[in-house]
């Protein structure tokens, strides 16, 4: 292959950051020195200043190779795919010789890149012995390019004796500049692709690298916060796997490449999409690769963020790959090289993020599924994430396409506490000194309120609601509304009126509207969004709606025309935004649904709501309509839902309508007993749940369902399991007494579910009420956090414990009960040696989970009582023959399979 072609692909912007990682950085304030420095003392992968491991060095070499090969199809690649890893390993071994060189940095620069290359190859002459001729030549070309940048890096260090080497430094800079110029001018597709991908990655980071934290409206407060600061890692449950432990949502692609993610409004679906896109675009292989191995699949990926609301706004068809950027209004669409998106996807380098399937019209969703099928069959090997509200698409909607279904779990107490802390930290960062002291006090009092007030805890289940609660608590000096309707009313008051009034801000556009006319205009706009089945409208359409509404709102009509009033609402309401030129949407769907429901009730469209009740996009509108309706209207509306459910010919429709009526009841301020009884009777036919789908449906109702969940008496084993699972999904303090009824259930799967669910609840309350009754039941108690481990040390019951990653051996020795523990389940890489297990003399069995490296179990032979060791079969490598006659090595169960002796 032509070495010049490889070099042309390696712009300085691509190579320099990788080379920089090979060396330690100069200390702060370092200046020129009067003597050279040995090269071996500068490397970051050996010696006292070591910050990189050998594995990190391999990752750098792999990334350098990846950037050299570029985004070309398999038949255009200069070496076979099977040879890429050996080339990267050989390059890593050669670069490792930098730590053995006797020459100093001045000598290296004076002698030049060819001499440095020769010295490294002489130090490791056999690294390319087993490579093909093409692969060896590729190794040498990569090494030549790396050495050129290494020497240039030396000349840029503040401690380099630059005054004696001006000429050499200038020559190196000139060679690198010419390489960059060659790359910019060459007509080859790979070079244009690489240049464009750098621009596109910067665009993704810039566009999606900020999050809106709703309601922070203190003085000098920005509207957005950096994603890496504001992002909160949440959990996701694997659908159809009742005994599988939850995973972190950002680990969706760990072990899977096609994911359908469900989540309620405000649960963080779009935020996760942003985080995945930005993480892939940044391509920091040290952060992704070494920081969290579950994120490795994101390396080398090109993200495509495809909001369904935008894709379907003006077009009946869905885009081809070449149209991805233009249809999402990416400003770089016209600059993409012809065929670029096809080359990316054909090479299996794409990260396709289809966000908000529920925001597409119902008649488009099946077409979207066929669109996905075509893309999947044409472009295998990419990563695919599709998000949706829970009931917008049917169960196993993409199962035939091998999608794994995940559901974002409600925030648990630890998540809520973390969110509250991050929110107040963000507010403190832009506040005056006196405000910071107030914010400290607000944070403490809000944490206490969320823990002790049941109604408030029910609301704080997703990032959106937590953000509103934090904002309102601060805005109202510690006062909080109790119900969802009151919460939204208070949030609207804060966003629409009080923010500007309390800042003493004069209207910048000369328009002054009070809260009521703003709400009238916005609710009419929201209702039109809903009636049109859209989450996004053309700006001209939105202005026409305001124009039609203005005659009924004279105080607004007197201050300007439709354009001026709409512009005022867009800029000052805090509820509307223009994500792309000419496109308007609400900042969040929940505000749209709340205001649209208010308009529907005021316009007397309750019958229309009943007709639309089976359409998933209307579910929250119907619930909020119950909150807005007067008692008589509310009763008749709910009975109409019940009657329509009774007359449904489909059992699915019947259950859907009855559950919707049950879910809506909790929003009714006043309701006739006969109506409540009729609804409860229908709900009783659906309880207890008999499968996972029914459990998920019931959990969607919320805490109302907890009152209807029965105890274990008279239930089959499956009914008991799914009833307990429903209570776990609903969560909150109110679920604890329900789960306590199942602590002595004879089925191990039910008791194991109680042990696995501990992390979703307050650690102390759950341990006292539920776990204390599980003495001697033969199931593993799962510990995932420091608070749980601390509580565990005070419990007398647990004999069998499963511990998550993140704890040190000292933590476990200190907290676990040595006089009780008989069975322990640990991550495979918990320890290098296992001598510390001698602290548990009664330990009978040890289960080790999978590990990246082979596990050395030879030290277990010294344990006096250990009789059972479970390991992944493929990892029975080290120490197998030294375990002793009394120790049995057996198959490791699948994750989620809880066995006991």
pLDDT beyond 80 at 17:
no
Query: What is the model's pLDDT at position 187?
Result: 47
Phi/psi of residue 600, nearest 5 degrees: -60, -45
Burial class (CB in 10 A: 0-12, 13-18, 19+), 180: middle
809 in a domain, yes or no? no
Phi/psi of residue 801, nearest 5 degrees: -130, 135
Q: Kindly report, residue by residue over 307-359, the tens digit of the pLDDT.
A: 998 888 777 789 999 999 999 999 999 999 999 999 999 989 999 999 988 77
Residues 39, 99: Cα–Cα separation, whole Å = 7
326 in a domain, yes or no? yes
Judge whether 123 and 100 are in contact, CB under 8 Å.
Answer: yes
Same domain, 337 and 454: no
Query: What is the model's pLDDT at position 704?
Result: 59
Same domain, 390 and 303: yes
Where are the extended beta strands (E) located within 467-549? 537-538
Residue 237: strand, helix, or coil: strand
pLDDT beyond 90 at 555:
yes
> Which of 366, 388, 408 is a domain's end point?
408
pLDDT bin (cut points 50, 70, 90) of residue 577 is confident
pLDDT bin (cut points 50, 70, 90) of residue 685 is confident
pLDDT bin (cut points 50, 70, 90) of residue 540 is very high
pLDDT beyond 70 at 701:
no
Among residues of the chain, what percentage have pLDDT more than 70? 80
What is the mean predicted confidence (pLDDT) over 367-383?
94
Query: What is the model's pLDDT at position 638?
Result: 95
Same domain, 365 and 473: no
In this predicted model, which residue has the larger pLDDT, 590 or 776?
Answer: 590
| Tokens linked to 315 | 């077009």
Least confident piece of the model among 95-104, 112-121, 133-142, 796-805? 796-805
In this predicted model, which residue has the larger pLDDT, 197 or 873?
Answer: 197
Mean pLDDT of the chain: 79
Query: What is the model's pLDDT at position 460?
Result: 79
Q: Kindly report, residue by residue over 124-162, the tens digit of the pLDDT.
A: 888 888 888 888 888 888 898 888 888 878 877 755 654
Same domain, 427 and 378: no
pLDDT beyond 50 at 894:
no
pLDDT bin (cut points 50, 70, 90) of residue 496 is confident
Residues 746, 725: Cα–Cα separation, whole Å = 16
> Which of 359, 383, 408 is a domain's end point?
408
pLDDT beyond 50 at 8:
no
Q: Kindly report, residue by residue over 62-80, the tens digit of the pLDDT.
A: 888 887 776 655 556 778 8
Same domain, 235 and 278: yes
89 in a domain, yes or no? yes
Q: Kindly report, residue by residue over 610-619, the tens digit of the pLDDT.
A: 999 988 788 8
Same domain, 22 and 109: yes
737 in a domain, yes or no? no
Same domain, 481 and 396: no
Query: What is the model's pLDDT at position 341?
Result: 96
Residue 870: strand, helix, or coil: strand
Q: At what angle do helices 81-96 and 113-123 cross, to 10 degrees?
A: 100
Query: What is the model's pLDDT at position 879?
Result: 32
Q: For residue 113, give the H/E element and its range.
A: helix 113-123
Same domain, 423 and 350: no
The number of domains in the chain is: 4
578 in a domain, yes or no? yes
> Which of 564, 587, 610 is a domain's end point?
587
Same domain, 59 and 109: yes
For the stretch 41-48, contacts whose Cβ atoms lie closer than 8 Å and that sit 24 or more positions apart, written own/partner, are: 42/105, 43/98, 43/99, 45/96, 45/99, 46/96, 46/99, 47/99
Q: Kindly report, residue by residue over 273-291, the tens digit of the pLDDT.
A: 999 999 999 865 444 444 4
pLDDT beyond 80 at 797:
no
55 in a domain, yes or no? yes
Query: What is the model's pLDDT at position 615?
Result: 84
| Tokens linked to 593 | 């649904």
pLDDT bin (cut points 50, 70, 90) of residue 528 is very high
891 in a domain, yes or no? no
Query: What is the model's pLDDT at position 332?
Result: 95
In this predicted model, which residue has the larger pLDDT, 304 or 779?
Answer: 304
What one-character-per-residue DSSP string does 640-703 give? HHHHHHHH-SSHHHHHHHHHHHHHHHTT-SS--HHHHHHHHHHHHTT-S--SHHHHHHHHHH-G
pLDDT beyond 70 at 663:
yes
What is the mean predicted confidence (pLDDT) over 503-516?
68
Least confident piece of the model among 320-329, 415-424, 867-876? 867-876
Same domain, 496 and 535: no
| Tokens linked to 628 | 């807005």
pLDDT beyond 70 at 400:
yes
How much is the CA Rg of the chain, to the nearest whole Å? 31
In this predicted model, which residue has the larger pLDDT, 879 or 212?
Answer: 212
Q: Kindly report, residue by residue over 180-190, the tens digit of the pLDDT.
A: 655 554 445 55
Same domain, 396 and 262: yes
Among residues of the chain, what percentage have pLDDT more than 90? 25
Query: What is the model's pLDDT at position 674?
Result: 94
Q: Kindly report, residue by residue over 625-661, the tens digit of the pLDDT.
A: 999 999 999 999 999 999 999 998 887 788 888 988 9
pLDDT bin (cut points 50, 70, 90) of residue 547 is very high
Residues 278, 283: Cα–Cα separation, whole Å = 9
Please give the residue range of the domain that contains residue 568. Answer: 515-587
Same domain, 479 and 542: no
| Tokens linked to 573 | 């309401």
Residues 557, 561: Cα–Cα separation, whole Å = 6
What is the mean predicted confidence (pLDDT) over 422-447?
84
Query: What is the model's pLDDT at position 703?
Result: 63
pLDDT beyond 50 at 471:
yes
CATH number at residue 283: 3.40.50.300
Residues 832, 670: Cα–Cα separation, whole Å = 63
pLDDT bin (cut points 50, 70, 90) of residue 829 is confident
CATH number at residue 525: 1.10.10
pLDDT bin (cut points 50, 70, 90) of residue 219 is very low
pLDDT beyond 70 at 702:
no
């Amino acid at each position: 292959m032509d070495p010049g072609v490889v070099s042309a692909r390696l712009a300085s912007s691509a190579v320099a950051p990788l080379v920089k990682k090979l060396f330690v950085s100069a200390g702060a304030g370092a200046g020129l020195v009067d003597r050279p420095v040995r090269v071996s003392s500068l490397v970051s992968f050996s010696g006292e200043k070591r910050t990189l491991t050998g594995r990190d060095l391999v990752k750098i070499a792999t990334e350098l190779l990846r950037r050299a090969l570029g985004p070309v199809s398999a038949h255009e690649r200069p070496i076979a795919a099977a040879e890429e890893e050996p080339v990267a390993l050989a390059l890593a071994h050669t670069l490792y010789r930098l730590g053995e060189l006797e020459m100093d940095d001045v000598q290296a620069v004076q002698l030049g890149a060819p001499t440095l290359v020769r010295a490294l190859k002489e130090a490791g002459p056999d690294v390319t012995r087993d490579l093909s001729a093409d692969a060896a030549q590729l190794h040498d070309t990569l090494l030549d390019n790396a050495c050129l940048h290494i020497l240039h890096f030396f000349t840029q260090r503040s401690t380099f004796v630059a005054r004696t080497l001006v000429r050499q430094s200038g020559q190196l800079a000139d060679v690198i500049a010419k390489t960059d110029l060659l790359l910019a001018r060459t007509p080859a597709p790979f070079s244009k692709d690489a240049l464009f991908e750098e621009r596109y990655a910067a665009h993704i980071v810039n566009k999606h690298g900020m999050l809106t934290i709703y309601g922070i409206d203190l003085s000098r407060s920005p509207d957005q916060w950096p994603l890496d600061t504001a992002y909160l890692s949440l959990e996701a449950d694997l659908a159809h796997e009742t005994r599988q432990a939850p995973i972190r949502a950002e680990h969706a692609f760990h072990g899977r490449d096609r994911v359908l993610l469900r989540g309620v409004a405000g649960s963080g679906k779009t935020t996760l999409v942003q985080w995945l896109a930005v993480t892939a675009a940044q391509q920091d292989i040290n952060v992704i690769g070494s920081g969290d191995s579950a994120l490795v699949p994101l390396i080398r990926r090109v993200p495509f963020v495809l909001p369904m609301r935008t894709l379907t706004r003006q077009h009946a068809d869905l885009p081809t790959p070449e149209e991805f950027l233009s249809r999402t209004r990416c400003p770089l669409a016209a600059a993409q090289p012809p065929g670029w998106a096809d080359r990316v996807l054909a090479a299996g380098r794409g990260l396709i993020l289809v966000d908000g399937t529920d925001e597409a019209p119902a008649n488009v969703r099946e077409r979207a599924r066929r669109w996905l099928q075509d893309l999947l069959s044409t472009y295998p090997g990419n990563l695919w994430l599709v998000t949706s509200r829970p009931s917008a698409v049917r169960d196993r909607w993409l199962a035939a396409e091998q999608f794994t279904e995940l559901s974002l779990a409600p925030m648990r107490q630890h998540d809520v506490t973390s969110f509250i802390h991050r929110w107040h930290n963000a507010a403190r960062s832009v506040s005056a000194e006196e405000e910071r002291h107030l914010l400290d006090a607000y944070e403490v009092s809000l944490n206490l309120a969320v823990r002790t007030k049941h109604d408030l805890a029910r609301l704080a289940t997703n990032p959106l609601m937590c953000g509103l609660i934090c904002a309102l608590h601060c805005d109202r000096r510690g006062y909080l509304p109790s119900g969802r309707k009151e919460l939204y009313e208070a949030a609207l008051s804060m966003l629409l009126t009080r923010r500007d009034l309390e800042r003493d801000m004069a209207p910048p556009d000369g328009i002054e509207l009070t809260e009521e006319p703003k709400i009238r205009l916005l609710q009419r706009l929201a209702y039109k969004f809903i009636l049109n089945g859209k989450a996004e409208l053309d700006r001209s359409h939105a202005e026409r709606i305001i124009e039609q509404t203005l005659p009924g709102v004279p105080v607004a009509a007197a201050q300007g025309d439709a354009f001026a009033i709409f512009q005022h609402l867009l800029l000052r309401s805090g509820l509307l935004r223009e994500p792309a030129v000419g496109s308007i949407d609400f900042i969040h769907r929940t505000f749209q649904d709340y205001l649209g429901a208010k308009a529907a009730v005021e316009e007397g469209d309750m019958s229309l709501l009943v007709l639309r009740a089976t359409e998933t996009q209307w579910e929250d509108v119907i619930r909020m309509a119950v909150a807005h309706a007067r008692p008589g209207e509310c009763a008749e509306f709910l009975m109409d839902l019940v009657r329509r459910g009774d007359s449904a010919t489909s059992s699915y429709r019947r259950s859907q309508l009855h559950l919707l009526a049950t879910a809506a009841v909790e929003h009714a301020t006043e309701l006739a007993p006969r109506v409540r009884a009729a609804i409860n009777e229908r709900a009783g036919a659906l309880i207890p749940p008999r499968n996972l789908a029914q459990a998920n449906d019931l959990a969607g109702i919320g805490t109302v369902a907890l009152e209807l969940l029965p105890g274990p008496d008279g239930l089959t084993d499956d009914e008991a399991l799914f009833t307990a699972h429903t209570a776990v999904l609903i969560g909150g303090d109110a679920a604890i007494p329900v789960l306590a009824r199942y602590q002595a259930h004879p089925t191990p799967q039910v008791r194991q579910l109680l042990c696995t669910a501990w992390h979703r609840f307050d650690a102390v309350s759950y341990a006292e009420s539920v776990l204390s009754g599980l003495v001697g039941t033969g199931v593993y108690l799962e510990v995932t956090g420091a608070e749980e481990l601390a509580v565990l040390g005070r419990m007398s019951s647990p004999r069998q414990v499963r511990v998550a990653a993140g704890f040190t051996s000292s933590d476990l020795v200190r907290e676990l009960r040595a006089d009780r523990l008989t069975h322990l389940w640990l991550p495979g890489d918990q320890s290098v040696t296992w001598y510390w297990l001698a602290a548990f003399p009664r330990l009978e069995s040890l289960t080790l989970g999978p590990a990246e490296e082979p596990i050395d179990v030879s030290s277990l032979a010294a344990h006096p009582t250990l009789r059972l060791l479970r390991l992944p079969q493929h990892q029975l490598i080290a120490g197998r023959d030294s375990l002793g006659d009394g120790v049995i090595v057996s198959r490791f169960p699948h994750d989620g399979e809880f066995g006991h002796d």
